[in-house]
Amino acid sequence: MGISLRSRWVFLPLVLALGAVSLYFLRLSIHHEAQPRPENPAPPEKKGPIYKDIDREVAPPLPEYFPIAAGAKSPSDLPPIPSWNKPPEKHVPESTRLYIGFTRFWPLLQQVVVSYITAGWPPEDIYVVENTGTMDSNKRGLLTIQNPFYLDYHRLTKILRVNIVSTPSLQTFAQLQNFYLSEAINNNLTYYFWSHMDVAVHSHEDRKDFKSLYMRAVDVIRETQQADYLVDKETGKKGEWGVQFFAYDWLTMVNVKTFAALGGWDTMVGYYGTDCDMYSRLAFNNYHQPIQDAGMVYDVTTSIDDLSILYRRRPKPSPTRETRDESNSTSPSPHSSNLDTTEPDTLNSTLFHNLKATFEQIQQDKRDDKYRNSWQLRQNGGAGEPYYYDPRGFEKALQMTIEVGTKINEEKWGHRGCDLKGAGLKEGDQWRVEHDETFG
């Protein structure tokens, strides 16, 4: 059947449109080929990185906070431990292992170690856990004092006679806690102590029933080992303890069995919030967390000027004028550690109260500081040394890691804040509840 003349006119606009488009592209192609091509076309301009405006000036070297230790060749060159704080000559039957973790800022580590030793803790029971991520660099003396991860390996092990254990790589706070737990399990310990490094301690010298900080800690061990400890008088049922707190967890005694039963610390929550998680889970599982008191434990940001004052030496009485003229000598400084010009201090002395006031002021300064851990930023050297990590970059990455861990803990419990029990949560609610009203 043929197509009518009227139907043929319907296709005419379409044919004309296709012809016009074809003609346009043909002319465009001819025009492009006619354009002269440059012999050596310039490469596109590349934009380099835009650097931050950062002050790269290295802070001056840290001062020496323990001059007598710097010149000591053996432990005998240090002053003796205050007589009232000396541990028993024969070690107590109980194990008293104390772990102190270290990542940055050597002056605070040195201070906390010396303060525990002079408060009676046996040096051989103190284990510094080097968590710097610098492998054996400190042991080989390859880091300088302005490197944030520096510690004086020789002074700790040969002069102060404490132990050093190194983590295989840099660990978060939660991972470090599980490292302590692992060490305890591998050494068949049923309990252990651990302490923050940014604290300083001393015994309660102003109490009539004086005992050293160390011996009060031993008393707590003995208390937990009594047959009637945590026995409910009504039911006769014996409870279990998880931790013994001395000034929150600035100094803590850990029950290995209970921590292992709960699977240790949640390493997905690396820093802030991981303590809330751990201690809440202990509470949810009815593990007791008694608060104990062995001595003063201060939260600090800096070291006192001369750590020899912790050994409690005072200047000998000034000689008579005749004797002074004959010897032509000068009086020692108030905090001299020279054994020839000083004598032992006494219990609960003026020097003790001055020392107590100094630590109280340092602690208050830390509380007043908007960034309470500003001490972590006082060293920014170490460029070119083994395992170097830019100090500012380390701090930035740390804060980001802390923030992520906090968010993980909030998602885990569906709650913002530390009062998990008050929010009605219980064991088994992890990762099973929706956000509550704290999310807004």
Q: Is the pTM of this model over 0.75?
A: yes
Tokens of 211: 């005992």
Q: Where are the beta strands (DSSP E) in 76-216?
A: 98-102, 126-130, 163-166, 191-195, 199-202
Phi, psi torsion values for 202, nearest 5 degrees: -155, 165
Tokens of 330: 């000068």
Tokens of 331: 């009086």
Which pLDDT does position 60 carry in this prediction? 79
Q: Given the DSSP bridges, would you call strands 199-202 and 243-246 parallel, antiparallel or unpaired?
A: unpaired
User: In 10 A of CB 22, how many CB atoms?
Assistant: 10
Among residues 46, 402, 381, 94, the alpha carbon closest in space to that of 225 is found at 94
CB 286, CB 239: distance < 8 Å: yes
Task: Give the CA dihedral 362, 363, 364, 365, nearest 10 degrees.
Answer: 50
> 261 vs 181, 240, 288, CA distance in Å?
12, 12, 14
Question: Residues near 288 by Cβ (< 8 Å), separated by ≥ 6?
Answer: 230, 239, 240, 241, 242
CB 216, CB 295: distance < 8 Å: yes
Residue with tokens 């939260």, as numbered in its chain:
299
Which pLDDT does position 340 carry in this prediction? 80
Burial code (b: 16+ CB inside 10 Å, e: under 16) for 129-157 equals bbbbbbbebbeeeebebbbbbbbbbebbe
Which pLDDT does position 333 carry in this prediction? 43
How far the first Cα of the chain sits from its last, in Å, is 77
Burial of 257 from C-beta contacts in 10 A (0-12 / 13-18 / 19+): middle
DSSP codes of every residue in 12-71: HHHHHHHHHHHHHHHHHHHHHHHSPPPSSPPPPPPP---------PPPPPPP-S-HHHHT
**Residue-level pLDDT, tens digit, the chain, 440 residues:** 555 555 555 556 666 666 665 666 666 565 555 556 666 767 777 788 988 887 777 777 889 999 999 999 999 999 999 999 999 999 999 999 999 999 999 999 999 999 999 999 999 999 999 999 999 999 999 999 999 999 999 999 999 999 999 999 999 999 999 999 999 999 999 999 999 999 999 999 999 999 999 999 999 999 999 999 999 999 999 999 999 999 999 999 999 999 999 999 999 999 999 999 999 999 999 999 999 999 999 999 999 999 999 999 999 887 765 555 444 443 334 444 467 889 999 999 999 999 999 999 999 999 998 766 666 677 889 999 999 999 999 999 999 999 999 999 999 999 999 999 999 999 999 999 999 999 98
Question: Residues near 299 by Cβ (< 8 Å), separated by ≥ 6?
Answer: 196, 198, 199, 250, 363, 366, 367
